[in-house]
Amino acid sequence: MAIPLQAEELAAIKQMIGGNVRLNLLYKISRDGCSAWTFHTKCDCKGPTITVIYNSKDTVYGGYTSQNWLGAGREHSAYDEKAFLFQVRYNGTSVQKKYPIKADKLANAISCCHNIGPTFGKGDPEFPSFSGVLKPSNGVFVFKGTKANSVYNVTDIASFTNDSLEVQDLEVYKVDEGLVETTVHPWRKTPTWNITYLQNLKREIDVYAPLEVTGVEQVNVLLFGQCGAGKSSFFNSINSIFKGVITSQAPSGSTDKSLTNRFRKYQVRRGRNGSPLSFRLCDTKGLEKNEGLHPDEFSFVLDGHMPDKYLFNASSLFGPESPGYVAMPSIRDKIHIVVIVIDATIVDVYPDEMTVKLKSMQGKVNQRGIPQIVLLTKIDKYCKALQGDVSKIFSAPEIGELVDKVAELTGLPRANIVPIKNYECEMELREDIDILALLALRQILNFADDYLTNFLDD
């Protein structure tokens, strides 16, 4: 018996199609019989569909087409530039592999005929499929297929199917095309995301400089929040963008205890050995239920008394007698903006004791007139439709609703709540992640300028 699609596998398929889509089951051979006639009766002229095949080696693969299946007339192929093959499970382990159609084979995306089942590519057939009526043998249906596929970017069909054409089940789902492209108005509007937009954002931040009259050469951005929320990961993400490679300079990870044991004012440099940009991302201990950053130490950080690279001591709090204490901090030493980092996946169950601590810290920030922004991290884990592509984040209504909740939790305007995805498991930079992070950083620097302007006015 085939093991149904797991949540992460279903999310992967939806993401490959285009995000937050709805799938409606049309045909299932274990329920409806393995019959080409039945397949066409149930699936013809239904618009975009996804075909999912489960084989006896606990491997799940299939194909997507945006075109109609048509069983009438002679065997023919259909043109489809959006078609692709996929594999989401191999030997019982979830995977995410997408095989797009070759640019010179768009006219042969699918094969249609009244006596063959769903077939991707044109051939004998080139995709594991069936013809006529198949009866199960020992609980499996033995499909036909060749060793190679010249239409899609699959070099070895045997590897694609895990070298098994014994099929336990096949399902065809109608893709609700109304949800392939978002039908809601974006809750936050931005220009079209492309490489030009990314380069413009990066250039804006590259040339940014604080107000010269203040004498501040680098804006101090303080990151703080619950342990494991992604403070250090945000620095690593920004650092990666400007270095051009994935970096992990700041210690990061998911834990109940803070991995940060020093107060650090991290520089972000242009390239590997380039000059520093005009801001510093300040990392400190995370908030914990019983320990973590103490409110008194937090005040010393805000006021610029704590020196860079100060090592926190669990047995004694930082104070005027501590090594490196800055007795008379200037505007250059002070924090110019506070960034609260919150894990999107725990907003609905944010601990009461952490809320109390957060509000206490915010009170100290408000007393000093320092602006605040919330970085809402791990949005791809909160909204599965964003896994693999966060470019549609501002059209995802569940993220807009989450921003409302965080605004209420922190008492900040919605414009101050900025969702992001940090680099976590990736080994290469991605345009969508870069754009989202740079949008957040630009907003942070704009708000820091507001603080410096107010400082001048005072």
> Exposed/middle/buried for 178, CB within 10 Å: 0-12, 13-18, 19+?
exposed
Torsion, Cα 447 452 457 458, to 10 degrees, reads: 110
Quickly list DSSP for 11-62.
HHHHHHHTSS--EEEEEEHHHH-EEHHHHHHHHBT--SEEEEEEETTS-EEE
Q: Which residue has the higher pLDDT, 236 or 261?
A: 236
Q: Which residue has the higher pLDDT, 22 or 316?
A: 316
Predicted local distance difference test score (pLDDT) of residue 34: 96
Predicted local distance difference test score (pLDDT) of residue 313: 85
Phi, psi of 261, deg, nearest 5: -115, 5
Query: pLDDT band for position 125 (50/70/90)?
Result: very low
pLDDT 10s digits, 1-12: 788 888 888 888
* Average pLDDT for 113-117: 91
- Residue corresponding to tokens 């242009």: 270
Predicted local distance difference test score (pLDDT) of residue 127: 76
Query: pLDDT band for position 183 (50/70/90)?
Result: very low
- Asked if residue 252 has pLDDT above 70, the reply is no
- Asked if residue 334 has pLDDT above 70, the reply is yes
| Percent with pLDDT over 70 in the chain | 93
Query: pLDDT band for position 182 (50/70/90)?
Result: very low
- Asked if residue 308 has pLDDT above 80, the reply is yes
Query: pLDDT band for position 254 (50/70/90)?
Result: low
* Domain spans, the chain: 7-179, 195-457
* Average pLDDT for 370-393: 89
Torsion, Cα 241 243 248 252, to 10 degrees, reads: -40
pLDDT 10s digits, 213-229: 888 999 999 999 888 88
Second CATH level (architecture) for the domain 195-457: 3-Layer(aba) Sandwich (3.40)
